[in-house]
């Protein structure tokens, strides 16, 4: 065999030997321990730093081997939170991260949830602790960054189902939710309509949140909105029970006569005009109802106890409805 060909054969053999060694070591687990280890790889983390992170966690033998195998296989690793274990091979780990088999958390914000409900939902979904969420939801710097001139995120958390992966910072995730609300107000004609009503986004969300808490049926939202708009024009108090409850914080208790006379910035029996701010997070239908009330002159409504309401134009008719439908209840619209 010519010397040149012999040399070439040796080089190929050495390369194949090294590749085989990489494959062998790459397919060997670090140990037999199968206890899961959660590893979070943030967006923008380099391949080398991912390897160092896994080495520090004791999940892989060698960070160099991890980088080399990733490079040889052309594997682009996807950021996220992964459940790994020490009985996984380097190859298994790389493949899992290559195909993005990461933990995805589901957050469902229900129409009418307030920020305390959202905080609970965040914690139950294992996205973040409720105290951490509340600190962020009331952080003035964070609110300023989102261009929210308020003391909290109340009203701005658009109801929907969201999917969260922990490579994203929690503040960016919340910002994405808030942007869903702002997009509603970017639709054609919405800004002009607010100008006609002399309302801004904050006031619109405040009124929409009241409609959300009062209306059980989508079709009644414009009617309830009309009652509130008519009362505002007539310089009447809005008399909205859910605002009273929000002000007292007694969410799990029936409203009482004492609640109705307790002065808070949300007591719309004691104060005229809109309350201090939103009392929940309204859906798009409630927002649109706030901007486009039904063309009726109703001033009162009372629950029929079946999810619908009886509407009236005068106190006499309203009182008859109250007697009919709320005979055994103390709460009524006045």
Please say if the pLDDT value at position 148 is more than 50: yes
Highest mean pLDDT out of 57-61, 95-99, 114-118: 114-118
- Cβ distance 6 to 66 under 8 Å? no
pLDDT, mean of residues 210-216: 96
Say how far residue 25 (Cα) sits from the centre of its chain: 43
Lowest mean pLDDT among 5-14, 127-136, 220-229, 252-261: 5-14
**Rounded Cα–Cα distance for residues 52 and 10 (Å):** 34
Q: Please tell me the predicted confidence (pLDDT) of residue 90.
A: 87
Least confident residue range of 5-9, 14-18, 96-100: 14-18
Percentage of residues in the chain with pLDDT exceeding 90? 75
**pLDDT, average across residues 289-308:** 95
CB contact set of 262 (below 8 Å; sequence gap of 6+):
244, 247, 248
Whether the per-residue pLDDT at 142 is higher than 90: the answer is yes
Residue-averaged pLDDT of the chain: 90
Distance from chain centroid for Cα 320: 42
Q: How far apart are CA 98 and CA 51, in angstroms?
A: 14
Please state the rounded mean pLDDT for residues 30-56. 87
* pLDDT of 33: 66
Confidence of residue 287 (pLDDT cuts 50, 70, 90): very high
Lowest mean pLDDT among 14-23, 43-52, 262-271: 14-23
- Distance linking the first and last C-alpha atoms of the chain: 106
- How far, rounded to the nearest angstrom, does the alpha carbon of residue 157 sit from its chain's CA centroid? 6
157 pLDDT higher than 90? yes
Q: Which residues touch 94 (CB under 8 Å, ≥6 apart)?
A: 66, 69, 70, 73, 75, 77
Residue 64 has pLDDT above 90, yes or no: no
φ, ψ of residue 171 to 5 degrees: the values are -65, -35
Strands (DSSP E) contained in 34-189 are 37-41, 80-84, 105-109, 160-164
Single pTM value for the model: 0.85
CA–CA distance, 160 with 283 (Å, rounded to integer): 9
**Bridge partners for 49 per DSSP:** none
DSSP code at position 164: E
DSSP state of 156: -
> pLDDT band at 7, cuts 50/70/90?
low
Per-residue model confidence (pLDDT) at position 332: 40
Q: What is the pLDDT of residue 127?
A: 96
Residues 233, 236, 239: CA angle, nearest 5 degrees: 120
Strands in 178-236 per DSSP E: none
Among candidate residues 100, 95, 63, 94, the one with its CA nearest the CA of residue 78: 100
| Cα 108 from Cα 160, distance rounded (Å) | 6
Q: Where in the chain is the domain with CATH 3.30.1490.480?
A: 3-98
Banded pLDDT at 15 (limits 50, 70, 90): low
* E strand map for the chain: 37-41, 80-84, 105-109, 160-164, 300-303, 309-312
**Residue 87 binned pLDDT confidence (cut-offs 50, 70, 90):** confident
Q: How far apart are CA 120 and CA 295, in angstroms?
A: 39
- Residues paired with residue 84 on neighbouring β-strands, in sequence order: 37
Residue 60 contacts residue 89 (beta carbons within 8 Å): no
- Write down the CATH superfamily of domain 3-98: Endolytic murein transglycosylase (3.30.1490.480)
Give whichever of 91-95, 104-108, 320-324 has the largest mean pLDDT: 104-108
Dist. CA 175–CA 156, nearest whole Å: 10
**Mean pLDDT, residues 256-279 taken together:** 95
């Amino acid at each position: 065999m010519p010397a040149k060909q012999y040399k070439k054969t040796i080089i190929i053999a050495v390369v194949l030997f090294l590749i085989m060694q990489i494959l062998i070591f790459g397919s060997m687990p670090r140990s037999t321990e199968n206890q899961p280890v959660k590893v979070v790889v943030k967006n923008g983390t380099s391949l080398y730093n991912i390897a160092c992170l896994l080495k520090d966690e004791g999940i892989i033998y060698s960070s160099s081997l991890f980088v080399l195998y990733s490079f040889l296989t052309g594997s682009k690793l996807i950021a996220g939170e992964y459940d790994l274990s020490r009985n996984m091979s380097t190859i298994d780990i790389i493949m899992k991260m290559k195909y993005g088999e990461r933990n995805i958390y589901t957050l469902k914000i229900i129409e009418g949830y307030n920020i305390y409900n959202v905080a609970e939902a965040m914690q139950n979904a294992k996205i973040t602790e409720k105290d951490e969420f509340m600190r962020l939801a009331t952080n003035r710097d964070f609110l300023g960054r989102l261009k929210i001139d308020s003391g909290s995120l109340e009203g701005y958390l658009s109801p929907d189902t969201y999917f969260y992966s922990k490579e994203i910072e929690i503040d960016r995730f919340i910002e994405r939710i808030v942007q869903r609300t702002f997009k509603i107000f970017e639709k054609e004609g919405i800004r002009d309509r607010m100008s006609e009503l002399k309302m801004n986004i904050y006031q619109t969300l405040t009124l929409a949140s009241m409609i959300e808490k009062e209306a059980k049926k989508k079709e009644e939202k414009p009617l309830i909105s009309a009652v509130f708009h008519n009362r505002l024009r007539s310089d009447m108090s809005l008399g909205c029970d859910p605002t009273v409850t929000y002000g007292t914080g007694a969410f799990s208790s029936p409203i009482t006569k004492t609640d109705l006379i307790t002065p808070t910035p949300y007591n719309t029996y004691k104060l005229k005009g809109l309350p201090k701010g939103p009392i929940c997070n309204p859906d798009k239908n409630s927002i649109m109802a706030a901007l486009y009330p039904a063309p009726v002159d109703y001033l009162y409504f009372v629950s029929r106890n079946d999810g619908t309401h009886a509407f009236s134009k005068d106190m006499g008719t309203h009182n008859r409805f109250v007697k009919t439908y709320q005979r055994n209840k103390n709460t009524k619209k006045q």
